[in-house]
Chain A
Protein backbone atom coordinates (compact mmCIF):
# COMPACT_ATOMS: atom_id res chain seq x y z
CA UNK A 1 0.00 0.00 0.00
CA UNK A 2 2.74 2.45 0.92
CA UNK A 3 6.37 1.99 0.25
CA UNK A 4 7.45 2.82 3.78
CA UNK A 5 9.00 0.21 6.01
CA UNK A 6 5.77 0.05 7.93
CA UNK A 7 4.04 -2.20 5.43
CA UNK A 8 5.17 -5.36 7.16
CA UNK A 9 3.75 -4.50 10.57
CA UNK A 10 0.33 -3.24 9.54
CA UNK A 11 -2.02 -4.96 11.99
CA UNK A 12 -5.27 -6.42 10.70
CA UNK A 13 -7.26 -3.66 12.36
CA UNK A 14 -7.25 -0.19 10.79
CA UNK A 15 -6.92 2.81 13.10
CA UNK A 16 -9.87 4.57 11.52
CA UNK A 17 -12.69 2.88 9.70
CA UNK A 18 -15.46 5.05 8.29
CA UNK A 19 -18.39 3.39 6.50
CA UNK A 20 -21.25 5.10 4.65
CA UNK A 21 -20.81 8.15 6.81
CA UNK A 22 -23.50 10.78 6.41
CA UNK A 23 -23.93 13.95 8.35
CA UNK A 24 -26.61 16.60 8.15
CA UNK A 25 -26.63 19.74 10.30
CA UNK A 26 -29.93 21.15 11.52
CA UNK A 27 -30.43 24.67 10.23
CA UNK A 28 -33.69 26.19 11.38
CA UNK A 29 -36.41 23.67 10.57
CA UNK A 30 -34.38 22.05 7.84
CA UNK A 31 -31.14 20.16 7.64
CA UNK A 32 -28.17 20.79 5.44
CA UNK A 33 -25.99 17.96 4.18
CA UNK A 34 -22.30 18.07 5.05
CA UNK A 35 -21.22 14.52 4.18
CA UNK A 36 -22.92 11.71 2.26
CA UNK A 37 -21.79 8.10 2.09
CA UNK A 38 -18.15 8.66 2.94
CA UNK A 39 -15.90 5.61 3.25
CA UNK A 40 -12.41 6.03 4.62
CA UNK A 41 -9.83 3.70 6.08
CA UNK A 42 -6.67 4.79 7.84
CA UNK A 43 -4.22 2.02 8.62
CA UNK A 44 -1.80 1.98 11.50
CA UNK A 45 1.05 4.37 10.86
CA UNK A 46 -0.53 5.74 7.72
CA UNK A 47 -0.56 9.39 6.71
CA UNK A 48 -3.80 10.28 4.93
CA UNK A 49 -4.49 13.70 3.49
CA UNK A 50 -8.04 14.89 2.87
CA UNK A 51 -8.61 17.60 0.32
CA UNK A 52 -11.77 19.07 -1.15
CA UNK A 53 -13.57 22.28 -1.95
CA UNK A 54 -14.49 24.66 0.85
CA UNK A 55 -17.58 23.57 2.76
CA UNK A 56 -17.40 19.95 1.60
CA UNK A 57 -17.35 18.62 5.16
CA UNK A 58 -13.65 18.11 5.96
CA UNK A 59 -13.88 19.69 9.39
CA UNK A 60 -17.10 17.79 10.03
CA UNK A 61 -15.31 14.53 9.16
CA UNK A 62 -12.48 15.25 11.60
CA UNK A 63 -14.90 16.23 14.36
CA UNK A 64 -16.73 12.96 13.91
CA UNK A 65 -13.52 10.91 13.99
CA UNK A 66 -12.42 12.83 17.10
CA UNK A 67 -15.72 11.91 18.77
CA UNK A 68 -16.69 15.56 19.11
CA UNK A 69 -19.76 15.14 16.92
CA UNK A 70 -22.19 12.25 16.46
CA UNK A 71 -22.86 11.56 12.79
CA UNK A 72 -26.45 11.35 11.61
CA UNK A 73 -25.71 8.16 9.67
CA UNK A 74 -23.11 5.50 9.06
CA UNK A 75 -20.44 3.82 11.18
CA UNK A 76 -17.19 5.11 12.49
CA UNK A 77 -14.72 3.07 14.44
CA UNK A 78 -11.43 4.32 15.82
CA UNK A 79 -8.85 1.94 17.33
CA UNK A 80 -11.43 -0.78 16.75
CA UNK A 81 -14.09 0.68 19.01
CA UNK A 82 -16.63 3.48 18.88
CA UNK A 83 -15.36 7.05 18.89
CA UNK A 84 -16.27 7.75 22.51
CA UNK A 85 -14.31 4.78 23.72
CA UNK A 86 -11.46 5.81 21.44
CA UNK A 87 -11.49 9.27 22.96
CA UNK A 88 -11.31 7.74 26.43
CA UNK A 89 -8.07 6.03 25.51
CA UNK A 90 -6.52 9.54 25.34
CA UNK A 91 -4.54 8.58 22.27
CA UNK A 92 -5.87 11.33 20.00
CA UNK A 93 -4.23 14.61 19.10
CA UNK A 94 -5.93 17.58 17.44
CA UNK A 95 -4.46 20.59 15.67
CA UNK A 96 -6.80 23.13 14.11
CA UNK A 97 -6.06 26.14 11.96
CA UNK A 98 -6.97 28.53 14.75
CA UNK A 99 -5.00 26.78 17.47
CA UNK A 100 -7.12 27.65 20.53
CA UNK A 101 -4.27 27.87 23.02
CA UNK A 102 -5.08 29.01 26.53
CA UNK A 103 -3.96 32.65 26.61
CA UNK A 104 -3.43 32.69 30.38
CA UNK A 105 -0.85 29.90 30.23
CA UNK A 106 2.65 30.32 28.86
CA UNK A 107 3.93 28.10 26.07
CA UNK A 108 5.40 25.44 28.36
CA UNK A 109 2.25 25.31 30.49
CA UNK A 110 0.04 25.01 27.42
CA UNK A 111 2.02 21.95 26.37
CA UNK A 112 2.12 20.53 29.90
CA UNK A 113 -1.64 20.94 30.24
CA UNK A 114 -2.09 17.96 27.92
CA UNK A 115 -0.02 15.81 30.25
CA UNK A 116 -1.92 17.14 33.25
CA UNK A 117 -5.04 15.69 31.68
CA UNK A 118 -3.74 12.50 30.09
CA UNK A 119 -1.33 11.78 32.93
CA UNK A 120 2.46 11.89 32.64
CA UNK A 121 4.32 9.12 30.86
CA UNK A 122 7.87 7.84 31.24
CA UNK A 123 10.35 10.48 30.18
CA UNK A 124 7.65 13.13 29.89
CA UNK A 125 9.91 15.95 31.06
CA UNK A 126 12.61 15.21 28.52
CA UNK A 127 10.02 14.75 25.80
CA UNK A 128 8.48 18.18 26.48
CA UNK A 129 11.91 19.77 26.22
CA UNK A 130 12.66 17.79 23.07
CA UNK A 131 9.35 18.69 21.44
CA UNK A 132 9.67 22.39 22.17
CA UNK A 133 13.17 22.22 20.68
CA UNK A 134 11.98 20.27 17.68
CA UNK A 135 9.15 22.58 16.69
CA UNK A 136 11.44 25.55 17.30
CA UNK A 137 9.82 27.19 20.28
CA UNK A 138 12.11 26.30 23.18
CA UNK A 139 13.33 29.89 23.33
CA UNK A 140 9.72 30.99 23.82
CA UNK A 141 8.78 28.56 26.58
CA UNK A 142 7.99 31.38 29.00
CA UNK A 143 6.08 33.51 26.46
CA UNK A 144 2.30 33.80 26.46
CA UNK A 145 0.33 33.00 23.29
CA UNK A 146 -0.61 36.67 22.90
CA UNK A 147 3.07 37.51 22.59
CA UNK A 148 3.68 35.06 19.73
CA UNK A 149 3.17 35.27 16.00
CA UNK A 150 0.56 33.06 14.34
CA UNK A 151 3.27 30.69 13.14
CA UNK A 152 4.73 30.35 16.62
CA UNK A 153 1.30 29.67 18.11
CA UNK A 154 0.77 26.92 15.54
CA UNK A 155 4.04 25.30 16.61
CA UNK A 156 2.84 25.34 20.21
CA UNK A 157 -0.43 23.74 19.13
CA UNK A 158 1.52 20.98 17.38
CA UNK A 159 3.68 20.32 20.45
CA UNK A 160 0.59 20.30 22.65
CA UNK A 161 -1.07 17.70 20.41
CA UNK A 162 2.00 15.43 20.31
CA UNK A 163 3.28 15.47 23.87
CA UNK A 164 1.18 12.53 25.05
CA UNK A 165 2.31 10.30 22.14
CA UNK A 166 -1.05 10.04 20.36
CA UNK A 167 -1.69 7.07 18.10
CA UNK A 168 -3.85 9.19 15.83
CA UNK A 169 -3.17 12.83 15.02
CA UNK A 170 -6.04 14.81 13.48
CA UNK A 171 -5.02 17.99 11.71
CA UNK A 172 -7.39 20.56 10.21
CA UNK A 173 -5.52 22.93 7.91
CA UNK A 174 -2.84 23.20 10.57
CA UNK A 175 -0.44 25.27 8.48
CA UNK A 176 -3.08 27.23 6.58
CA UNK A 177 -2.29 30.53 8.24
CA UNK A 178 1.50 30.29 8.04
CA UNK A 179 3.88 32.02 5.70
CA UNK A 180 5.44 29.86 2.97
CA UNK A 181 8.80 29.37 4.71
CA UNK A 182 7.28 28.33 8.06
CA UNK A 183 4.90 26.03 6.24
CA UNK A 184 7.75 24.27 4.51
CA UNK A 185 9.63 23.91 7.79
CA UNK A 186 6.61 22.63 9.66
CA UNK A 187 5.78 20.07 6.97
CA UNK A 188 9.17 18.43 7.24
CA UNK A 189 9.16 18.66 11.04
CA UNK A 190 5.79 16.96 11.05
CA UNK A 191 7.10 14.19 8.79
CA UNK A 192 10.05 13.64 11.10
CA UNK A 193 7.85 13.36 14.17
CA UNK A 194 5.45 11.10 12.32
CA UNK A 195 8.24 8.77 11.19
CA UNK A 196 9.63 8.61 14.71
CA UNK A 197 6.31 8.22 16.49
CA UNK A 198 4.72 5.58 14.27
CA UNK A 199 1.36 7.25 14.57
CA UNK A 200 -1.42 7.67 12.05
CA UNK A 201 -2.33 11.10 10.71
CA UNK A 202 -5.46 12.46 9.07
CA UNK A 203 -4.45 15.74 7.54
CA UNK A 204 -7.01 18.16 6.10
CA UNK A 205 -5.58 20.74 3.75
CA UNK A 206 -6.42 23.04 0.89
CA UNK A 207 -2.95 22.76 -0.55
CA UNK A 208 -2.42 20.17 -3.26
CA UNK A 209 1.37 20.30 -2.86
CA UNK A 210 1.07 19.77 0.86
CA UNK A 211 -1.24 16.79 0.44
CA UNK A 212 0.99 15.06 -2.10
CA UNK A 213 4.20 15.94 -0.30
CA UNK A 214 3.08 14.54 3.04
CA UNK A 215 0.63 11.74 2.52
CA UNK A 216 0.60 8.04 1.72
CA UNK A 217 -2.84 8.55 0.25
CA UNK A 218 -4.80 11.62 -0.75
CA UNK A 219 -8.55 11.44 -0.37
CA UNK A 220 -10.31 13.90 -2.67
CA UNK A 221 -13.82 14.89 -1.64
CA UNK A 222 -16.55 16.29 -3.86
CA UNK A 223 -18.26 19.61 -3.21
CA UNK A 224 -20.89 19.93 -0.50
CA UNK A 225 -22.23 17.53 0.64
CA UNK A 226 -18.91 15.70 0.50
CA UNK A 227 -18.45 12.23 -0.98
CA UNK A 228 -15.16 10.53 -1.69
CA UNK A 229 -14.47 11.37 -5.29
CA UNK A 230 -11.25 9.43 -5.55
CA UNK A 231 -8.33 8.20 -3.51
CA UNK A 232 -4.86 8.68 -4.94
CA UNK A 233 -1.98 6.52 -3.72
CA UNK A 234 1.18 8.57 -3.35
CA UNK A 235 3.88 6.01 -4.00
CA UNK A 236 6.79 8.38 -3.58
CA UNK A 237 9.87 7.35 -1.62
CA UNK A 238 10.38 8.31 1.99
CA UNK A 239 11.78 10.24 3.61
CA UNK A 240 10.37 12.96 1.44
CA UNK A 241 12.55 15.99 0.90
CA UNK A 242 12.36 19.31 -0.85
CA UNK A 243 14.07 17.71 -3.87
CA UNK A 244 10.76 16.06 -4.72
CA UNK A 245 9.93 19.21 -6.63
CA UNK A 246 12.17 17.91 -9.42
CA UNK A 247 10.61 14.45 -9.44
CA UNK A 248 8.35 13.95 -12.47
CA UNK A 249 6.25 11.41 -10.55
CA UNK A 250 5.56 14.08 -7.93
CA UNK A 251 4.57 16.57 -10.60
CA UNK A 252 2.28 14.08 -12.24
CA UNK A 253 0.60 13.23 -8.92
CA UNK A 254 0.08 16.95 -8.31
CA UNK A 255 -1.60 17.20 -11.68
CA UNK A 256 -3.81 14.21 -10.91
CA UNK A 257 -5.07 15.68 -7.66
CA UNK A 258 -5.45 19.09 -9.21
CA UNK A 259 -7.45 17.64 -12.07
CA UNK A 260 -9.84 15.93 -9.68
CA UNK A 261 -10.25 19.08 -7.64
CA UNK A 262 -10.65 21.49 -10.48
CA UNK A 263 -13.43 19.48 -12.08
CA UNK A 264 -14.98 19.45 -8.63
CA UNK A 265 -14.95 23.20 -8.10
CA UNK A 266 -16.60 23.42 -11.51
CA UNK A 267 -14.03 25.72 -12.98
CA UNK A 268 -13.07 23.85 -16.11
CA UNK A 269 -11.40 27.00 -17.40
CA UNK A 270 -8.77 26.59 -14.69
CA UNK A 271 -7.65 23.25 -16.10
CA UNK A 272 -6.13 25.04 -19.01
CA UNK A 273 -4.95 27.96 -16.94
CA UNK A 274 -2.75 25.81 -14.71
CA UNK A 275 0.26 24.42 -16.53
CA UNK A 276 0.84 20.71 -16.17
CA UNK A 277 -2.79 19.94 -15.40
CA UNK A 278 -4.18 16.90 -17.14
CA UNK A 279 -7.73 16.00 -17.37
Chain B
Protein backbone atom coordinates (compact mmCIF):
# COMPACT_ATOMS: atom_id res chain seq x y z
CA UNK B 1 0.00 0.00 0.00
CA UNK B 2 2.67 2.40 1.10
CA UNK B 3 4.95 1.27 -1.65
CA UNK B 4 2.20 1.85 -4.18
CA UNK B 5 1.69 5.36 -2.88
CA UNK B 6 5.41 6.00 -3.16
CA UNK B 7 5.42 4.78 -6.71
CA UNK B 8 2.48 7.04 -7.63
CA UNK B 9 4.20 10.01 -6.02
CA UNK B 10 7.31 9.20 -8.02
CA UNK B 11 5.32 8.98 -11.26
CA UNK B 12 3.97 12.46 -10.62
CA UNK B 13 7.14 13.91 -9.26
CA UNK B 14 9.63 12.97 -11.96
CA UNK B 15 8.06 14.88 -14.87
CA UNK B 16 7.54 17.96 -12.66
CA UNK B 17 11.13 17.75 -11.55
CA UNK B 18 12.44 17.35 -15.09
CA UNK B 19 10.38 20.29 -16.38
CA UNK B 20 11.51 22.47 -13.50
CA UNK B 21 15.13 21.58 -14.19
CA UNK B 22 14.73 22.36 -17.89
CA UNK B 23 13.15 25.75 -17.15
CA UNK B 24 15.85 26.53 -14.59
CA UNK B 25 18.58 25.69 -17.09
CA UNK B 26 16.85 27.87 -19.69
CA UNK B 27 16.57 30.77 -17.24
CA UNK B 28 20.22 30.44 -16.22
CA UNK B 29 21.41 30.21 -19.80
CA UNK B 30 19.53 33.37 -20.83
CA UNK B 31 20.78 35.33 -17.80
CA UNK B 32 24.40 34.18 -17.86
CA UNK B 33 24.81 34.60 -21.62
CA UNK B 34 22.68 37.75 -21.58
CA UNK B 35 20.58 36.55 -24.57
CA UNK B 36 18.52 39.32 -26.23
CA UNK B 37 14.87 39.09 -25.23
CA UNK B 38 13.54 39.33 -28.80
CA UNK B 39 15.59 36.23 -29.63
CA UNK B 40 14.89 34.09 -26.61
CA UNK B 41 13.10 35.46 -23.55
CA UNK B 42 13.73 33.90 -20.14
CA UNK B 43 10.91 31.79 -18.65
CA UNK B 44 10.41 34.52 -16.07
CA UNK B 45 9.83 37.09 -18.84
CA UNK B 46 7.34 34.75 -20.56
CA UNK B 47 5.50 34.28 -17.29
CA UNK B 48 5.43 38.04 -16.82
CA UNK B 49 3.97 38.48 -20.32
CA UNK B 50 1.31 35.85 -19.55
CA UNK B 51 0.37 37.49 -16.27
CA UNK B 52 0.42 40.97 -17.76
CA UNK B 53 -2.82 40.34 -19.66
CA UNK B 54 -4.09 36.84 -18.86
CA UNK B 55 -7.56 37.67 -20.19
CA UNK B 56 -6.18 38.15 -23.67
CA UNK B 57 -4.60 34.67 -23.70
CA UNK B 58 -7.66 33.08 -22.12
CA UNK B 59 -9.97 34.62 -24.71
CA UNK B 60 -7.64 33.55 -27.52
CA UNK B 61 -7.43 30.05 -26.13
CA UNK B 62 -11.20 29.85 -25.78
CA UNK B 63 -11.79 30.88 -29.40
CA UNK B 64 -9.16 28.56 -30.84
CA UNK B 65 -10.30 25.67 -28.67
CA UNK B 66 -13.87 26.24 -29.82
CA UNK B 67 -12.78 26.01 -33.45
CA UNK B 68 -10.59 22.95 -32.86
CA UNK B 69 -13.22 21.02 -30.90
CA UNK B 70 -15.98 22.07 -33.29
CA UNK B 71 -13.93 20.91 -36.26
CA UNK B 72 -13.00 17.66 -34.57
CA UNK B 73 -16.61 16.85 -33.71
CA UNK B 74 -17.82 17.77 -37.18
CA UNK B 75 -15.12 15.66 -38.84
CA UNK B 76 -15.64 12.69 -36.50
CA UNK B 77 -19.36 12.63 -37.08
CA UNK B 78 -19.14 13.16 -40.84
CA UNK B 79 -16.33 10.64 -41.20
CA UNK B 80 -18.18 8.03 -39.17
CA UNK B 81 -21.34 8.36 -41.23
CA UNK B 82 -19.37 8.11 -44.45
CA UNK B 83 -17.39 5.20 -42.99
CA UNK B 84 -20.63 3.31 -42.35
CA UNK B 85 -21.42 3.57 -46.05
CA UNK B 86 -17.87 2.63 -47.07
CA UNK B 87 -17.65 -0.29 -44.65
CA UNK B 88 -20.98 -1.50 -46.00
CA UNK B 89 -19.88 -1.73 -49.62
CA UNK B 90 -16.49 -2.11 -51.24
CA UNK B 91 -17.81 -0.43 -54.38
CA UNK B 92 -18.83 2.63 -52.40
CA UNK B 93 -15.47 2.60 -50.69
CA UNK B 94 -13.68 2.62 -54.03
CA UNK B 95 -15.91 5.42 -55.26
CA UNK B 96 -15.53 7.63 -52.19
CA UNK B 97 -11.88 7.05 -51.51
CA UNK B 98 -10.43 9.35 -54.23
CA UNK B 99 -12.31 12.48 -53.15
CA UNK B 100 -11.48 11.73 -49.51
CA UNK B 101 -7.84 11.34 -50.45
CA UNK B 102 -7.92 14.54 -52.50
CA UNK B 103 -9.23 16.33 -49.42
CA UNK B 104 -6.36 14.91 -47.41
CA UNK B 105 -3.51 15.73 -49.76
CA UNK B 106 -4.65 19.26 -50.58
CA UNK B 107 -2.64 21.57 -48.31
CA UNK B 108 -5.10 23.38 -46.05
CA UNK B 109 -2.98 26.50 -46.36
CA UNK B 110 -4.08 26.68 -49.97
CA UNK B 111 -7.75 26.24 -49.19
CA UNK B 112 -8.00 28.46 -46.13
CA UNK B 113 -8.19 31.81 -48.01
CA UNK B 114 -11.07 30.42 -50.04
CA UNK B 115 -12.94 29.51 -46.88
CA UNK B 116 -12.42 33.06 -45.64
CA UNK B 117 -13.91 34.43 -48.87
CA UNK B 118 -16.89 32.11 -48.54
CA UNK B 119 -17.53 32.18 -44.82
CA UNK B 120 -15.95 35.42 -43.58
CA UNK B 121 -13.81 35.82 -40.46
CA UNK B 122 -15.99 34.15 -37.86
CA UNK B 123 -15.99 30.70 -36.34
CA UNK B 124 -17.28 28.87 -39.42
CA UNK B 125 -14.16 28.87 -41.63
CA UNK B 126 -11.96 27.91 -38.68
CA UNK B 127 -14.20 24.98 -37.77
CA UNK B 128 -14.23 23.87 -41.38
CA UNK B 129 -10.46 23.95 -41.71
CA UNK B 130 -10.00 22.05 -38.43
CA UNK B 131 -12.58 19.56 -39.72
CA UNK B 132 -10.85 19.23 -43.06
CA UNK B 133 -7.49 18.41 -41.54
CA UNK B 134 -8.92 15.80 -39.15
CA UNK B 135 -11.42 14.23 -41.52
CA UNK B 136 -9.14 11.71 -43.21
CA UNK B 137 -7.62 10.03 -40.15
CA UNK B 138 -11.10 9.77 -38.64
CA UNK B 139 -12.47 8.26 -41.84
CA UNK B 140 -9.75 5.66 -42.27
CA UNK B 141 -9.89 4.60 -38.64
CA UNK B 142 -13.68 4.41 -38.64
CA UNK B 143 -13.75 2.24 -41.76
CA UNK B 144 -11.14 -0.16 -40.36
CA UNK B 145 -12.96 -0.16 -37.03
CA UNK B 146 -16.35 -0.91 -38.53
CA UNK B 147 -14.80 -3.83 -40.41
CA UNK B 148 -12.95 -5.19 -37.39
CA UNK B 149 -15.86 -7.28 -36.19
CA UNK B 150 -15.10 -10.62 -34.53
CA UNK B 151 -16.38 -13.17 -37.10
CA UNK B 152 -17.41 -15.61 -34.34
CA UNK B 153 -19.59 -13.01 -32.65
CA UNK B 154 -21.00 -12.09 -36.05
CA UNK B 155 -21.79 -15.73 -36.84
CA UNK B 156 -23.51 -16.17 -33.51
CA UNK B 157 -25.71 -13.12 -33.99
CA UNK B 158 -26.61 -14.18 -37.52
CA UNK B 159 -27.48 -17.68 -36.32
CA UNK B 160 -30.15 -16.24 -34.04
CA UNK B 161 -31.31 -14.09 -36.95
CA UNK B 162 -30.23 -10.69 -35.64
CA UNK B 163 -31.12 -7.98 -38.16
CA UNK B 164 -28.45 -5.96 -39.95
CA UNK B 165 -29.56 -3.04 -37.81
CA UNK B 166 -29.14 -5.01 -34.57
CA UNK B 167 -25.74 -6.27 -35.68
CA UNK B 168 -24.74 -2.71 -36.52
CA UNK B 169 -25.62 -1.25 -33.12
CA UNK B 170 -24.83 -4.23 -30.91
CA UNK B 171 -21.63 -5.38 -32.59
CA UNK B 172 -20.25 -3.15 -35.33
CA UNK B 173 -20.34 0.20 -33.55
CA UNK B 174 -18.82 -1.01 -30.26
CA UNK B 175 -16.15 -2.97 -32.19
CA UNK B 176 -15.17 0.19 -34.05
CA UNK B 177 -14.62 2.32 -30.94
CA UNK B 178 -10.99 1.36 -30.23
CA UNK B 179 -10.15 2.47 -33.77
CA UNK B 180 -12.23 5.62 -33.52
CA UNK B 181 -10.32 6.57 -30.38
CA UNK B 182 -7.00 5.84 -32.06
CA UNK B 183 -8.16 8.25 -34.79
CA UNK B 184 -9.10 10.85 -32.20
CA UNK B 185 -5.66 10.67 -30.59
CA UNK B 186 -4.11 11.43 -33.98
CA UNK B 187 -6.66 14.13 -34.75
CA UNK B 188 -6.52 16.18 -31.56
CA UNK B 189 -3.19 17.89 -32.33
CA UNK B 190 -4.20 18.21 -35.98
CA UNK B 191 -7.38 20.05 -35.05
CA UNK B 192 -5.36 22.61 -33.10
CA UNK B 193 -3.06 23.07 -36.08
CA UNK B 194 -6.12 23.60 -38.26
CA UNK B 195 -7.59 26.24 -35.95
CA UNK B 196 -4.32 28.17 -35.57
CA UNK B 197 -3.49 28.04 -39.27
CA UNK B 198 -6.96 29.34 -40.06
CA UNK B 199 -6.40 32.25 -37.69
CA UNK B 200 -2.98 32.97 -39.19
CA UNK B 201 -4.39 33.17 -42.65
CA UNK B 202 -7.61 35.02 -42.01
CA UNK B 203 -6.46 37.03 -39.00
CA UNK B 204 -9.62 36.14 -37.13
CA UNK B 205 -9.40 36.16 -33.36
CA UNK B 206 -7.71 33.39 -31.40
CA UNK B 207 -4.29 32.18 -30.34
CA UNK B 208 -3.21 32.18 -33.99
CA UNK B 209 -3.99 35.86 -34.31
CA UNK B 210 -2.18 36.54 -31.03
CA UNK B 211 0.94 34.91 -32.46
CA UNK B 212 0.55 36.87 -35.68
CA UNK B 213 0.36 40.20 -33.83
CA UNK B 214 3.18 39.39 -31.39
CA UNK B 215 5.33 38.38 -34.32
CA UNK B 216 4.66 41.70 -36.06
CA UNK B 217 5.57 43.56 -32.86
CA UNK B 218 8.73 41.53 -32.22
CA UNK B 219 7.07 40.81 -28.86
CA UNK B 220 8.83 37.49 -28.34
CA UNK B 221 7.70 36.97 -24.70
CA UNK B 222 4.04 37.18 -25.79
CA UNK B 223 4.84 34.89 -28.73
CA UNK B 224 6.29 32.33 -26.34
CA UNK B 225 3.35 32.83 -24.00
CA UNK B 226 1.00 31.97 -26.85
CA UNK B 227 3.05 28.89 -27.70
CA UNK B 228 2.90 27.68 -24.11
CA UNK B 229 -0.85 28.28 -24.01
CA UNK B 230 -1.18 26.31 -27.23
CA UNK B 231 0.84 23.44 -25.78
CA UNK B 232 -1.36 23.49 -22.67
CA UNK B 233 -4.46 23.36 -24.87
CA UNK B 234 -3.06 20.35 -26.69
CA UNK B 235 -2.32 18.56 -23.46
CA UNK B 236 -5.76 19.40 -22.11
CA UNK B 237 -7.53 18.05 -25.20
CA UNK B 238 -5.39 14.92 -25.38
CA UNK B 239 -5.93 14.22 -21.70
CA UNK B 240 -9.70 14.69 -22.04
CA UNK B 241 -9.83 12.24 -24.94
CA UNK B 242 -7.70 9.77 -22.98
CA UNK B 243 -10.03 10.10 -20.01
CA UNK B 244 -13.14 9.42 -22.08
CA UNK B 245 -11.32 6.57 -23.81
CA UNK B 246 -10.50 4.94 -20.49
CA UNK B 247 -14.17 5.13 -19.49
CA UNK B 248 -15.59 3.92 -22.81
CA UNK B 249 -12.97 1.30 -23.67
CA UNK B 250 -12.61 -0.17 -20.19
CA UNK B 251 -13.03 -3.59 -21.81
CA UNK B 252 -10.44 -3.12 -24.51
CA UNK B 253 -7.11 -3.67 -22.74
CA UNK B 254 -8.17 -7.03 -21.43
CA UNK B 255 -9.85 -7.85 -24.73
CA UNK B 256 -6.63 -7.40 -26.65
CA UNK B 257 -4.93 -10.06 -24.62
CA UNK B 258 -7.72 -12.56 -25.24
B34: interface (CB < 8 Å): no
The residues of B that contact A147 with a CB separation of less than 8 Å are 254
Listed residue (A63, A66, A146) with the most chain B CB atoms within 10 angstroms of its CB:
A146
Given A102-B174, A146-B254, the answer on whether A170 and B159 have CB atoms closer than 8 Å is yes
Given A102-B170, A104-B251, A146-B251, the answer on whether A92 and B159 have CB atoms closer than 8 Å is yes
B69: interface (CB < 8 Å): no
For the complex, count residues of B whose C-beta is within 8 A of A.
24
Listed residue (A63, A89, A90, A100) with the most chain B CB atoms within 10 angstroms of its CB:
A100
Instruction: Please state if B254 and A103 are interface contacts (CB–CB under 8 Å).
Output: yes
Interface residue from A101, A104, A117, A170 paired with B162 (Cβ < 8 Å): A117
The residues of A that contact B159 with a CB separation of less than 8 Å are 66-68, 87, 92-94, 170
Name the residue on A nearest B255 (C-beta): A103
The residues of B that contact A113 with a CB separation of less than 8 Å are 170
A235: interface (CB < 8 Å): no
A155: interface (CB < 8 Å): no
Q: Could you give, for residues 169-208 of chain A, a 1 whenever the CB lies within 8 Å of some chain B CB and a 0 otherwise?
A: 0100000000000000000000000000000000000000
Given A102-B170, A103-B252, A144-B251, the answer on whether A161 and B156 have CB atoms closer than 8 Å is yes
A88: interface (CB < 8 Å): yes
Instruction: Please state if B255 and A68 are interface contacts (CB–CB under 8 Å).
Output: no
The residues of B that contact A164 with a CB separation of less than 8 Å are 160
Instruction: Please state if B158 and A96 are interface contacts (CB–CB under 8 Å).
Output: no
Residues of B within 8 A of A (CB): 150-162, 166, 170-171, 174, 251-255, 257-258
Interface residue from A88, A94, A145 paired with B155 (Cβ < 8 Å): A94
The residues of A that contact B257 with a CB separation of less than 8 Å are 146
A2: interface (CB < 8 Å): no
- Complex CA distance for A214 and B162, rounded to whole angstroms: 30
For the complex, count residues of A whose C-beta is within 8 A of B.
33
Can you name 9 A-B residue pairings with CB atoms under 8 Å? A92-B159, A96-B156, A100-B153, A102-B174, A104-B255, A113-B170, A144-B251, A147-B254, A161-B156
> In the complex, how many angstroms separate the beta carbon of B139 from the nearest chain A beta carbon?
23
- Complex CA distance for A144 and B159, rounded to whole angstroms: 23
Instruction: Please state if A68 and B155 are interface contacts (CB–CB under 8 Å).
Output: yes
- Complex CA distance for A278 and B106, rounded to whole angstroms: 74
- Complex CA distance for A181 and B150, rounded to whole angstroms: 28
> In the complex, how many angstroms separate the beta carbon of A55 from the nearest chain B beta carbon?
18
